[in-house]
Structure 1
Amino acid sequence: MSTRRQLAVLAAALAIVATSGSAALAQKKYDTGATDTEIKVGNIMPYSGPASAYGVIGRTEAAYFKMINDQGGINGRKINFISYDDNYSPPKTVEQARKLVESDEVLLVFNSLGTPPNTAIQKYMNQKKVPQLFVATGATKWNDPQNFPWTMGWQPNYQSETIIYARYILKNHPNAKIAVLYQNDDYGKDYLKGLKDGLGAKAASMIVAEDSYEVSEPTIDSHIVRLKATGADVFINITTPKFAAQAIKKNAELGWKPLHFLNNVSGSIGSVIKPAGFENAQDIISSQYFKDPTDAQWKTDKAMIAWNEFLDKYYPEANRADASVMYAYIVSQGLVHVLKACGDNLTRENIMKQAASIRDYEPLGLLPGVKVNTSPTDFAPLSQLQLIRFKGETWERFGEVLSGDVGG
């Protein structure tokens, strides 16, 4: 081969290499917060204040992402998890969200907790076009892709949950007199709306009392006294963990034994039931969509084995009876699933695209038959629940896996 021809072949080969290299580089797309080596993930939790029992969620997530990083990260990139305390105070949430977006320059804000806190930052996150992904609240408003395309929930929504309770009451206790205690904010009102929608035309006659409390109150004892005085034989308890435990205790002190429904965000044995006293919680009804770590039937389950191995190494001090630890483990898997699906296109737009394209995903820890599904028009990843009843020192599942379709 002549020297001229050799040079021509070499030049052609170099051109091909250069072109393919450029194509490979072109395939990598990053927004602020993502690089070849790092993905910045923001988070806001009530590590202090009236909802501090939920702070364990942020600590579990930090431990989970440490495990992922030790395993090589996501497509070779390490998660830089930045989590701040907001004291469950919406003005503080706004401050922390601005810090995460404008100072820390995170790619997204993940699983920040609470309905009032997330409501306070929803418009800001959408104006900035920063994903407010898998928020840790079941408010129905997070499923509104048309008006808030950058906000997505995770857990079954509150209205669906109380619709399921309402249907149970109508079927099994059609003449019930219902008393409702609820937190006086969007979280409590969302649950209350679901209950009324589920009861339909009978809501006005069946609900004999509604009483709301403020999160700033030190105790809800006086509310329980008022509700007992109505003679109600069904109690709908829409409270966060601190107040849920108080309500269970006070009912026992007063000798008030209505059929007691407890919203599932306060169904943790470790942070609610045990402090309130197992003997005081017998026969309370709630709902679940993930496996209860205290339930012996899951002892040899592969998801529970993996969960325990993770905690042994990365969060050994965790209270394994606290359902919030399992919740955080499951939702963290959800984020990893989405980030892996993004590949090398780590733009905020693609994160929301992948989050809205989940099909029959089953992270470790969900109950059998419960799956994660989303679409561009459905931002509610989980929608199924199973009723549970407290017996002895654990929850017992009963009935089928249900879906409380909102407005259905």
Structure 2
Amino acid sequence: MPILSSQPSPHGRRIGRRRLLSVLLGALAGPARAALGKPPAGEILIGSSAAFSGPAAMLGQGLHAGALALFKQINSQGGLAGAKLVMRALDDAYEPVRTDKNTRLLVDDPKVLALFGYVGTPTSKAALPYVRRWQIPFVGAFTGAAVLWEPNPMVFNVRAGYRAEAEALAGAMVTAGVKHLGVLYQADLFGRAGMEAMRSAAEGQGLVIGPVASVQRNSVDVQAALTVLLVKPQPEAIFMVSTYASCAAFIQAARQRGYAGRFYSLSFAGLEPLRQALHQDMRKVTIAQVVPDPDDASIAVVAAYQKAMREAGHKHFDSISLEGYIAARVLVEGLRNAKKPLSRESLAQGLETLGHLDLGGFQVAYRPKDHQGSNYIGLRSEK
């Protein structure tokens, strides 16, 4: 059953964004400018390249807000065995070329024990050659693309994959009476991965995929896509594989042209940024989710996340920062389970021997040769 999610007031969300940005800039600006030299004694250094600027900035900012809230909470309690958790995060603006440069800098520093919280499929793929060559753990990427499910002993997924999301969305489409589906996909590895996931799911559910159109990464120019996808007879629904900015631009423009069908999206679009970009108008929009409702404090992990966020100065909660918090919890458990002295190798061994881990109503599992993490999928929709 689709779950209706709560909607904070637009005024409250603007305050939350400003607060989020100020906290992140304070946490990230120093490390991003600093030379990658030896950190102070008693630090556990984690590296990241993510979108902190550009059209996908709310994804990187949100994901790292959740992770940094956990780090701050642990550090305030004395750290891990007396060592402070430190994030060295560099901005790639969701552009793989910048990810490549950032990752090279990070892996070259032997004090960086892991790469964490990368945002996106093409950006994560840009990091994988460094992960393999430098044998550094790659944890909690914000993507469900199959490229991260290929055998790699140093990759540790936390979220469920796009294939599982596509299966859930296809089932919801059939329940809603959809038979004919159009696809808007981002013209890169992410878009192709999502489109292929839906092709497979649609075939199994008896859905027919009709017109297909693309949009460029970090672009909101959807006019050409509208011309292709809204040709008559119009599909009963549009499946979107892109970020919140381009998805929102397409939905708004399609509505203006009188399109009355439904819209479906993978989780990567970001529920809260998409809602905000649509000015809270989520009519006939269904989006997959890979974490529970961030406002449901009856779930232990959500209550713990909310507590950490409040202690870090945040007043509003969202699925993206909850995912960052959960991914950081997995990383911390791996650090606790790793043999000392800590190294990239011992951290990888600590992560893959975690076994079944209940974070408080959210289950993950890691074993040698099985680094898939969670299989949680939910759907959020509005009529």
Shorter-normalised TM-score: what interval? Answer: 0.7 to 0.9
The answer as to whether partners of 2:171 and 2:205 remain within 8 angstroms in 1 is no
Cα gap change, 1:202 to 1:219, in 2 (>3 Å): same
Choose from 303, 312, 315 the match for 1:314. 312
In 1: Cα distance, 2:84 partner to 2:102 partner: 23
> Given residue 359 of structure 2, which amino acid in structure 1 is its aligned partner?
P
Of structures 1 and 2, the larger Rg is shown by 1
Identity %: 22
Cα gap change, 1:299 to 1:219, in 2 (>3 Å): same
Deviation digits for residues 96-130 of structure 1, max 9, x if unmatched? 11111214741111121111111112012211111
Choose from 254, 257, 260 the match for 2:257. 254
Aligned to 2:100: 94
Look up the SS of the partner of 1:346 in the other structure: coil
In 2: Cα distance, 1:375 partner to 1:178 partner: 38
Task: Map residues 223-234 of structure 1 onto 2, 5 A cutoff.
Answer: 223-230=225-232, 231-234=234-237
> Given residue 125 of structure 2, which amino acid in structure 1 is its aligned partner?
T
Aligned length: 345
Deviation digits for residues 195-227 of structure 1, max 9, x if unmatched? 111223787x81111111111434324423431
Q: Identify the range of structure 1 (248-257 vs 64-73) with the bigger mean alpha-carbon deviation.
A: 248-257
In 1: Cα distance, 2:324 partner to 2:94 partner: 18
The answer as to whether partners of 1:50 and 1:216 remain within 8 angstroms in 2 is yes
Deviation digits for residues 64-117 of structure 1, max 9, x if unmatched? 212211111112221121111012111111111111121474111112111111
Aligned to 2:12: none
Choose from 365, 371, 376 the match for 1:379. 371
Are positions 1:128 and 2:134 aligned together? yes
Cα gap change, 1:239 to 1:299, in 2 (>3 Å): same
Are positions 1:48 and 2:49 aligned together? no
In 2: Cα distance, 1:181 partner to 1:299 partner: 35
TM-score normalised according to structure 1 size: 0.77
What is the Cα deviation at residue 180 of structure 1?
0.3
In 2: Cα distance, 1:159 partner to 1:50 partner: 25
The answer as to whether partners of 1:288 and 1:387 remain within 8 angstroms in 2 is yes
The answer as to whether partners of 1:53 and 1:241 remain within 8 angstroms in 2 is no
Aligned to 1:154: 158
Q: CA RMSD in A?
A: 2.6
> Given residue 111 of structure 1, which amino acid in structure 2 is its aligned partner?
G
Q: Identify the range of structure 1 (181-190 vs 282-291) with the bigger mean alpha-carbon deviation.
A: 282-291
In 1: Cα distance, 2:376 partner to 2:54 partner: 31
Cα gap change, 1:124 to 1:267, in 2 (>3 Å): closer
In 2: Cα distance, 1:216 partner to 1:285 partner: 22
Look up the SS of the partner of 2:358 in the other structure: coil
Look up the SS of the partner of 1:137 in the other structure: coil
Aligned to 2:275: 273
Cα gap change, 1:218 to 1:235, in 2 (>3 Å): closer
Structure with the bigger RCO (C-alpha within 8 Å, sep 6+) is 2
Aligned to 1:11: none
Aligned to 1:344: 340
What is the Cα deviation at residue 255 of structure 1?
2.3
In 2: Cα distance, 1:34 partner to 1:361 partner: 31
What is the Cα deviation at residue 372 of structure 1?
0.4
The answer as to whether partners of 2:38 and 2:111 remain within 8 angstroms in 1 is yes
The answer as to whether partners of 1:372 and 1:381 remain within 8 angstroms in 2 is yes
What is the Cα deviation at residue 292 of structure 1?
2.1
What is the Cα deviation at residue 303 of structure 1?
3.8
Cα gap change, 1:44 to 1:336, in 2 (>3 Å): same
In 1: Cα distance, 2:38 partner to 2:138 partner: 14
Cα gap change, 1:358 to 1:206, in 2 (>3 Å): same
Deviation digits for residues 245-301 of structure 1, max 9, x if unmatched? 2223223222212132121222423x111330333x22322222322234xxx2555
Cα gap change, 1:301 to 1:120, in 2 (>3 Å): closer
The answer as to whether partners of 1:112 and 1:136 remain within 8 angstroms in 2 is yes
Aligned to 1:333: 329
In 2: Cα distance, 1:380 partner to 1:201 partner: 23
Choose from 164, 171, 174 the match for 2:168. 164
Cα gap change, 1:201 to 1:54, in 2 (>3 Å): closer
Choose from 66, 76, 94 the match for 1:60. 66
Q: For structure 2, list consecutive stretches of 5 or more residues without a partner in the other structure.
A: 1-36
What is the Cα deviation at residue 357 of structure 1?
2.6
In 1: Cα distance, 2:74 partner to 2:96 partner: 31
The answer as to whether partners of 1:182 and 1:211 remain within 8 angstroms in 2 is yes
Cα gap change, 1:58 to 1:160, in 2 (>3 Å): same
The answer as to whether partners of 2:46 and 2:116 remain within 8 angstroms in 1 is yes
In 1: Cα distance, 2:223 partner to 2:369 partner: 43
Are positions 1:81 and 2:87 aligned together? yes
The answer as to whether partners of 2:270 and 2:320 remain within 8 angstroms in 1 is no
Task: Map residues 193-272 of structure 1 onto 2, 5 A cutoff.
Answer: 193-200=196-203, 206-230=208-232, 231-269=234-272, 271-272=273-274
Cα gap change, 1:143 to 1:35, in 2 (>3 Å): farther
Look up the SS of the partner of 2:353 in the other structure: coil
The answer as to whether partners of 1:184 and 1:212 remain within 8 angstroms in 2 is yes
Cα gap change, 1:161 to 1:274, in 2 (>3 Å): same
What is the Cα deviation at residue 144 of structure 1?
2.4
Cα gap change, 1:44 to 1:347, in 2 (>3 Å): same
Q: Identify the range of structure 1 (77-86 vs 226-235) with the bigger mean alpha-carbon deviation.
A: 226-235
Show structure 1 runs of 4+ deviating over 6 A.
32-36
Cα gap change, 1:198 to 1:130, in 2 (>3 Å): same
Q: Identify the range of structure 1 (282-291 vs 34-43) with the bigger mean alpha-carbon deviation.
A: 34-43
TM-score normalised according to structure 2 size: 0.82
